[in-house]
Amino acid sequence: MLIKNIRLMDPASKRDEIVDILIEDEKIKSIGKNINIEDKDIIDGKNLIISPGFIDVHVHFRDPGQEYKEDLTTGSQAAAAGGYTSVICMANTKPVMDNENLIKDFVKRAKEQIINVYTISSLTKEMKGQELVDMEKVLEAGALAFSDDGIPNTRNDIVLEAMEKVKELDSLISFHEEDPSLNKENGINHGKVAEEMGLYGAPAISEEIMVARDCYFAYKTGAKVNIQHISAAGSLDIIREYKKLGAKVYCEVTPHHFSSTEDLIREKASLAKMNPPLRTEEDRQAIIKALKDGTIDFIATDHAPHSSKEKNQEFTKAPSGIIGLETALGLGITNLVRENKLSLMELLEKLTINPAKLYKLERGRIKKACQQTL
C-alpha cells in the first residue's frame, strides 16, 4: 500500500511534513517524498493527517465480571473508532485484578483484540486497601503498573510501603485522589449546582489533600506516581511545585474535565456524574493552562461505561462514570486546538508519546520498521 501526500505529524520526532508512506506486510517500509512504485494500492492522503495511534492509560472495560456494560472486544472496538491503538485497563473488575492468574488470563484474551489491550494490577488485595498484592508476581505475569482506581486509600502506612516497593521495582502507581471522608455525595462538585439540588457533594479539597500526600510521598521515596483524572485547580498548583522539586509525579486529565463544568449536570443529570466530579470554570481554565505548561502530561479518558438502566436512576443512586474513547480527539480539537490553547502537535503529544514513555510502551511514534536481521 502506498499513501501519497499525507501530512505526517509525529510528536516524538516533532516531524510535521507532507510525505508518501510505503507499507508492505503491514509494516512501514519507507517514508519520503515522491515514492512511486507500480502495482500498489494507492491512497490519496491529501488533506489528511497521519499520527501515531493514541494510547489511553486509563479505561474500564469491565471484563471480567460486568460484561453487560462493556467487554474486551466492545471496548477495543470503541477505542479503535476513536483512533486508539493501545489502552490500559483498570483493575476494578469482578473479581479484582489482584493476582497473577487473573492477569495471565487477561493477557491471553487481550491478544485476540484488534488493538493492544493491557491491564494494570490492583495495588491491594481485592482493592480493600489493607494488604499489598504480590507486586513482583503480577508484574511478571504482565501487569503494567498498579492502581486501586475508584477506591482511594487513606492508609498512609500502606501507601508509603507501596511507594517504597514500586521504587525498588522501577514500576509506578496510579492514584485516584479523593478522600472519602470529605465527600458527602460522590460525582457532583460541592458548589452551586449541588446546592440547588440540596446536596453537599464532593469538595475540591478532598482531591487536593490526597494529591498533596502522594506528591509528598513520591518526593520522599523517589517513587513514580501518576495522578489520575485531575479536576481541581488547587491540585495542579501542588503538582506543579512538586515537579519543580524533582518528584517523579505525572498527571493525567480526562476530556470531560477539560471540556465541561458542573453546569452540565443541570442538563444531563446522572449522565454527567463521575468521580472526581466536573468542577467550575476556574478549575477548567486551570486545567487548560496546566496542559499547556506541561503540569498535565497526558490525556486519559477514564472510559467508564454503565448500562442505561443504571445511569437512568435518580442522581444519588446512579453510578459514576462516563465513556470517552470515541470522543476524546473531537473534544481535544474543539476545546483545545480550535480555541488556540494547544497546538495540534501538543494535543497529539499528550495522546501518544507521553503516555508511551511513562508506561514504557514501545509505541506512540511513527517510524520505519526495523530491518529484519536473519
Looking at the annotation, which residues are catalytic?
302
How many residues interact with Zn ion (rule CB under 5 A)?
Answer: 2
For helices 233-245 and 281-293, give the axis angle rounded to 10 degrees: 20
> Which amino acid would we find at residue 308?
S
Residue with Cβ nearer Zn ion (176 or 257): 176
Please identify, using beta-carbon distances, which residue of 149 and 262 lies nearer to Zn ion: 149
Q: How far is the CB of 163 from Zn ion (least distance, A)?
A: 19
219's grid cell = 518526593
Segment contacting Zn ion by CB under 5 A, of 44-52, 99-107, 175-183, 256-264? 175-183
Residue 262 contacts residue 193 (beta carbons within 8 Å) = yes
Among the listed ranges 68-76, 170-178, 231-239, 258-266, the one in contact with Zn ion (CB under 5 A) is 170-178
Helix (H, G, I), strand (E, B) or coil at 352: coil
Contact 93, 123 (CB under 8 A): no
Name residue 88's beta-bridge partners. Answer: 118
Distance from C-alpha of 64 to C-alpha of 61, rounded to nearest angstrom: 8
Of the pair 100, 148, the CB lying nearest Zn ion is at: 148
Q: Which is nearer to Zn ion, 10 or 283 (CB)?
A: 283
Binding-site string for Zn ion from residue 340 to residue 369, where x marks contact by CB under 5 A and - marks none: ------------------------------
Q: Closest CB to Zn ion belongs to which residue?
A: 176
Q: How far apart are CA 177 and CA 183, in angstroms?
A: 12
Question: Which residues 6+ apart lie within 8 Å of 18 measured at CB?
Answer: 5, 6, 7, 8
Is residue 149 at the binding interface for Zn ion, with CB under 5 A as the rule? yes
**Nearest distance in Å: CB 261, Zn ion:** 19
- Are the C-beta atoms of 191 and 262 separated by less than 8 Å? yes
Q: Whole-angstrom distance between the N-terminal and C-terminal Cα of the chain?
A: 25
CB 274 → Zn ion: shortest distance, Å? 9
**Which of 108, 112, 101 minimizes the C-alpha distance to 121?**
101
For the bound state, the minimum distance from the C-beta of residue 304 to Zn ion, rounded and expressed in Å, comes to 8
- Smallest gap from Cβ 168 to Zn ion, in A, equals 26
Q: Shortest gap between Cβ of 246 and Zn ion (angstroms)?
A: 26
CB 219 within 8 A of CB 245: yes
Taking alpha carbons only, the member of 14, 51, 18 closest to residue 332 is: 51
Least distance (Å) between residue 86 CB and Zn ion = 19
Residue 280: what residue type?
Answer: T
Closer to Zn ion at the Cβ: 96 or 342?
Answer: 96
- Tell me whether strands 15-24 and 54-59 are parallel, antiparallel or unpaired: unpaired
* DSSP per-residue codes, 257-303: HHH--TTHHHHHGGGG--SSPP--HHHHHHHHHHHHHTSS-EE---B
Judged by CB, which is closer to Zn ion: 204, or 348?
Answer: 204
Find the part of the chain contacting Zn ion (CB under 5 A) among 138-146, 148-156, 214-222, 291-299.
Answer: 148-156
Distance of CA 52 to the CA centre of its chain: 16
What would the x/- binding string for Zn ion be over residues 222 to 261, using CB under 5 A? Answer: ----------------------------------------
Q: Which of 4, 62, 176, 350 binds Zn ion (CB under 5 A)?
A: 176
Binding segment for Zn ion (CB under 5 A), chosen from 73-81, 125-133, 142-150, 162-170, is 142-150
The nearer residue to Zn ion, 8 or 173, going by C-beta atoms, is 173
Instruction: Report residue 154 as a C-alpha cell.
Output: 487513606
* Joined grid coordinates for residue 327: 470522543
- Binding residues (CB under 5 A) for Zn ion: these are 149, 176
